[in-house]
């Protein structure tokens, strides 16, 4: 029987070998639900297959929760909430710190499982687990610092402003970051003192199960953190239809986000929505062009472009356009594509065939509208969902790819006539997640910080994600934040206690 990482580590005595394709050290584990601390599978439950996107092989069978399972999870979440919220903050912090340590111990194994179910290069899979450990460790510290404040009146009365955990949370995480997304769903609620039921993506379930298992092994009660799977719309309707759930947290596409936000609103549940983006990158001629090319070309193809904060629309000042374009294409053509388990691979397959079909459709439509395909554009091979790193240029703004999140390995390079036009194009879309700008001009940096409509703006740096800073969007990219103190406060409600 294939087991989850904590058991495998013992079995293998901590020895590991970096295997090439087909020579994995780690068996893909048996999959199950985690309800009230119990591992549940079989027993007549329906199930679905999990596929390795690099090989298209079936690697696992995932049980779906029945309606009874979900009711049981809800009842346990109610109980788990009362138990966990009463656990002293320093004890909660110690448990979450231990969970971070367990994740670090298991990072090699969980990272390998993640790569096998999602496709990204092994170092990135392991990096995701390391980020998840750092996030829960940061949250462990924050949960000790959730102070309220006291207003003391001269005549003797006072008001206490108190923060309380909102209650049981339902979290829905997508497949592009199978570990980080799940940790974002469970970390904030657990630090705040909430219980949480998470549904990782059915396409990448084992990473999420491993993260939840680490929480349980560290001492989080079985009712306080649970993991379910099923038909996504059935599970979300069931959980959000229950008055027990007091908060929704979702990462995924804008249409699904809008639908879930409506379901939450029917019961006035609070919500954090991390939805799609279409990251503009403003490249000004006063920037260090070679440096921009080095970091942003890597960024465009990270995780095969399946990143909500992917840099996608490159808006380049006209006088440096040709130099930038040529440098970008030559770098894109050097990106090594292959099975994420192999050494030296920079970009793995796309995570599923839907994404592959979609990117091909968007590239073809952009060409029909007059966009130039400078590199790539083709599927690689016919086994595994591999696609060439692709570069389009001079794409008109009525092309679909200029309006719809591509979520694949394609960068769009368009020449722009200066600062005003670049800001206007950056703000043109209803999305506002991440935006990027490269310039040495201090006054321009201030203007961009004030005028660019985005939840996150990276100026002269390529990353918008650190555990201690809020991560989230505006407009159609959603509302609320994860990470940072904001990610914990988002799971709390305020009570003002007036005393005479
Ligand atoms: P999708 O919108 O159907 O699914 C996205 C995620 O939401 C999946 O994990 C899915 O399980 C979940 N989901 C779908 N319907 C749900 C429901 N009713 N209740 C609860 N969860 C639900 O589509 P997709 O094919 O996976 O991706 C399509 C597009 O979505 C992508 O091309 C991309 O633009 C966007 N997307 C964004 C993110 C992100 O990080 N913001 C992640 C994944 C997908």
* Domains of the chain, CATH where assigned: 11-275+478-496 (3.40.605.10), 279-465 (3.40.309.10)
Q: pTM here?
A: 0.95
Q: How far is the CA of 264 from the centre of ligand 1 (A)?
A: 17
Tell me the CA–centroid distance for residue 253 and ligand 1, in Å. 5
Q: Of all protein residues, whose CA lies closest to atom 42 belonging to ligand 1?
A: 252
Structure confidence by residue, pLDDT tens digits, 103-119: 999 999 999 999 999 99
Q: What pLDDT is stored for residue 331 in this prediction?
A: 98
Catalytic status, residue 274: yes
Band (pLDDT 50/70/90 cuts) for residue 3 is low
Please report, rounded to a whole number, the percentage of residues in the chain having pLDDT higher than 70.
95
Catalytic residue among 143, 308, 405, 419: 308
Establish whether 308 is a catalytic residue: yes
Statement: residue 342 has pLDDT above 50: yes
Residue of 117, 177, 252 with the most ligand 1 atoms within 8 Å of its CB, for mutation: 252
pLDDT for the residue 27: 82
The Cα 152–Cα 160 span in angstroms is: 9
Q: Which residue has the CA at smallest separation from atom 28 of ligand 1? A: 253
Query: What's the token pair of residue 369?
Result: 């509208």
Answer yes or no: is pLDDT of 19 > 90.
no
Residues 6+ apart with CB under 8 A from 47: 61, 62, 63, 64
Per annotation, catalytic residue among 112, 117, 137, 274: 274
Closest approach atom of ligand 1 to CA 358: 32
First to last CA, the chain: 64
Question: In the structure, what pLDDT confidence band is assigned to residue 1 with cuts at 50, 70 and 90?
Answer: very low
Between the CA of 252 and the centroid of ligand 1 the distance, in Å, is 4
CA-274 nearest atom, ligand 1: 41
| Separation between Cα atoms, residue 247 and residue 176, nearest integer Å | 23
Query: Is 70 exceeded by the pLDDT of residue 4?
Result: no
Atom of ligand 1 nearest to the CA of 200: 9
Asked if 170 and 121 touch (Cβ cutoff 8 Å), the reply is no
- Tell me which residues have their CB closer than 6 angstroms to ligand 1: 172, 174-176, 201, 232-233, 236, 251-253, 256, 260, 274-276, 308, 354, 405, 407
Q: Whose CA is nearest to atom 43 of ligand 1?
A: 252
Q: What is the DSSP string of 115-161?
A: HHHH---HHHHHHHHHHHHHHHHHHHHHGGG---EEEE-TTS-EEEE
Q: What integer is the mean pLDDT of 466-488? A: 97
Largest CA distance in the chain: 78
Give 469 Cα–ligand 1 centroid separation in angstroms: 24
Best of 256, 263, 274 to mutate for ligand 1, by most ligand atoms within 8 A of CB? Answer: 256
């Amino acid at each position: 029987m294939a087991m989850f990482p904590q058991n495998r580590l013992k079995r293998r005595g901590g020895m590991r070998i970096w295997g090439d394709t087909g020579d994995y050290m780690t068996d893909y584990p048996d999959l199950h639900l985690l309800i009230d601390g119990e591992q549940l599978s079989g027993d007549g439950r329906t199930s679905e297959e999990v596929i390795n996107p690099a090989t298209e092989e079936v690697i696992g069978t995932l049980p779906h929760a029945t309606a009874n399972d979900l009711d049981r999870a809800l009842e346990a979440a109610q109980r788990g909430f009362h138990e966990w919220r009463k656990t002293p903050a320093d004890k909660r912090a110690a448990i979450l710190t231990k969970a971070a340590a367990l994740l670090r111990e298991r990072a090699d194994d969980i990272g390998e499982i993640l790569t096998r179910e999602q496709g990204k290069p092994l170092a990135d899979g392991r990096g995701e687990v390391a980020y998840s450990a750092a996030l829960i460790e940061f949250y462990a510290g924050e949960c000790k610092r959730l102070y309220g404040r006291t207003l003391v009146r001269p005549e003797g009365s006072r008001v206490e402003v108190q923060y309380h955990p909102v209650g049981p949370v339902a979290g829905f995480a997508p497949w592009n970051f199978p570990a980080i997304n799940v940790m974002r769903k469970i970390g904030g609620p657990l630090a705040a003192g909430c219980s949480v039921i998470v549904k990782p993506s059915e396409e990448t379930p084992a990473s999420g199960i491993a993260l939840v298992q680490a929480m349980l092994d560290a001492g989080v009660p079985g009712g306080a953190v649970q993991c379910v799977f099923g038909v996504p719309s059935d599970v979300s309707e069931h959980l959000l239809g229950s008055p027990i759930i007091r908060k929704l947290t979702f990462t995924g596409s804008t249409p699904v986000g809008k639908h879930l936000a409506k379901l939450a609103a029917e019961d006035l549940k609070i919500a954090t929505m991390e939805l799609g983006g279409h990251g503009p990158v403003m490249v000004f001629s006063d920037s260090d062009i070679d440096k921009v090319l080095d970091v942003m070309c890597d960024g465009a193809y990270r995780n095969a472009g399946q990143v909500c904060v992917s840099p996608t629309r490159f808006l380049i000042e006209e006088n440096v356009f040709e130099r930038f374009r040529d440098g970008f294409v030559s770098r894109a053509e050097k990106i090594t594509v292959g099975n994420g388990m192999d050494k030296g691979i920079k970009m793995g397959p796309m995570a599923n065939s839907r994404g592959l079909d979609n990117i091909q459709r968007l590239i073809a439509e952009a060409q029909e509208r007059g966009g130039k395909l400078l590199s790539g554009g083709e599927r690689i091979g016919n086994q595994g969902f591999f696609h060439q790193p692709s570069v389009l240029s001079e794409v008109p703004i009525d092309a679909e790819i200029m309006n719809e999140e591509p979520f694949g390995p394609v960068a769009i390079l368009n020449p722009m006539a200066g600062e005003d036009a670049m800001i206007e194009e950056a703000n043109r879309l209803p999305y506002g997640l991440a935006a990027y700008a490269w310039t040495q001009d201090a006054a321009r940096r201030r203007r961009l910080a004030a005028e660019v409509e985005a939840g996150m703006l990276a100026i002269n740096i390529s990353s918008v994600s650190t555990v201690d800073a809020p991560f989230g969007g505006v407009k159609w990219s959603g509302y609320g934040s994860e990470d940072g103190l904001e990610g914990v406060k988002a799971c709390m409600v305020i009570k003002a206690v007036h005393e005479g």
